[in-house]
Amino acid sequence: MELYSPVKPSILIVDDSPDNLSLMAGLLINHYTVKTAIAGSQVMKIAITEQPDVILLDIMMPDLDGYEVCRRLKADSLTSQIPVIFLTSKTDQESEQLGMTVGAVDYITRPVTPAILLSRVKAHFMVAANAKTMRINNEYLEFEVSKRTRQMAALQNVTILALASLAETRDSETGNHLKRTQYYMELLCKYLRRHPRFTDFLSPERIQFMIQCAPLHDIGKVGIPDRILLNPGRYSAAEFEIMKTHPTLGRDAIANAQNSAPQDGEFFEIAKQIIYSHHEKWDGSGYPLGLAGEAIPIPARLMALADVYDALICRRVYKASMSHEQALQVIVEGWCKHFDPDVVDAFLALGSEFQAVATRFADSVEDLEKKASYFANSVT
């Protein structure tokens, strides 16, 4: 039964006595939209579908007593925030204490004084209304923060790809190289996060940073002269020394950006590690520092394999491509020499997935022709 007024807050009165229901409804009808139930078993359904602002609940009922009804209301996330006030003839202290223990906000005994009943119901309604307003505001704020965070992340990704693409326009690589190496990095991270040597480092946040930063690995090439960067032949010793400065140039550019950034320090640290150390080799024969083994940062170790694999399988204006099987053999030969052995093992386990990424983001004939044209014009 419902006595409805659209401008009033609602109250659900639960009592197995029709006389008691009629009496309480008469007292409250001028102030609330009154809903009634004659059995505890009806309460959950009504509370979930109608969402009353307050529930006035009898204790002694034949099917479910008020204590059990209150427990169920508080256990359900859809009804747990609804204030429950016990209205009962049980006047002993133990019953009142149990009522508060199971989650009621108040305990009123019969016979009731109308003014006191109205005052106490109103007080709890006001508390509940304020709490509801706070919840709505908090949910809105959380939604806005989440939306802004997603927007900032999207902007960050676009900025990273724009910076990486700037370096790519001056190189023989295509834009799909950036996408492929980013996906290779993701595959390696998610596989190795369960490995005892990597699990402490590869937190979800760091994995996300590594995936985001992967396209930046060769950003330092923007500082390399065209006569060296676009040289289709072998470098002279002097040219190679200049070429080997690109990790330092890239690292320094990120460090300058980091100095102006208010937060996300670890993001910049991972970016610098990838850029500065992805040409280091496990046996210490790489550059720029000749780091070896565990001294090479984990993000750089993963980037090294992703970058080399993609360079091997992709055709460039100055070289033919290798098959996946040929590239695999080169990677295996680099086990404990060029690459961390556990990263190589991860690559071997993920071989078919690497192939799928390479196929999905394969360079088109048009991409390669554009690069060839740019390459030829720049060299001449």
What CATH number is associated with residue 365? 1.10.3210.10
Shared-domain flag, residues 115 and 205: no
Q: Among 105, 59, 99, 117, which residue's Cα sits nearest to residue 81?
A: 105
Q: Is the pLDDT of residue 25 over 90?
A: yes
Whether residue 317 has pLDDT greater than 60: no
pLDDT digits (tens, 9 = 90+) for 163-185: 666 666 656 565 688 899 999 99
Its domain, for residue 9, covers 2-141
Of 124, 141, 158, the one marking the end of a domain is: 141
Do 195 and 334 reside in the same domain of the chain? Answer: yes
pTM of the model: 0.60
Q: Check whether residue 277 and residue 188 sit in a common domain.
A: yes
- Quick one: 242 and 359 in the same domain? yes
Could you give the percent of the chain with pLDDT greater than 70?
84
Same domain for 258 and 362, yes or no, is yes
pLDDT at 276: 97
3-state secondary structure of 328: helix
Most confident of 222-226, 238-242, 264-268, 342-346: 342-346
Residue 133 shares a structural domain with residue 174: no
Q: Are strands 33-37 and 2-3 parallel, antiparallel or unpaired?
A: antiparallel
Per-residue confidence at 156, pLDDT binned at 50, 70, 90? low
Who has greater pLDDT, 321 or 151? 321
Between 129 and 190, whose confidence is greater?
A: 190
pLDDT score of 227 = 83
Q: According to the model, what pLDDT value does residue 93 have?
A: 94
Q: Is the same domain home to 112 and 215?
A: no
Which long-range contacts link 328-332 to residues 24+ away (Cβ below 8 Å)?
331/305
Q: Quick one: 256 and 324 in the same domain? A: yes
Residue 87 confidence (pLDDT): 95
- Cα angle 133-138-142, degrees, rounded to a multiple of 5: 150
Banded model confidence at residue 3, pLDDT cuts 50, 70, 90: very low
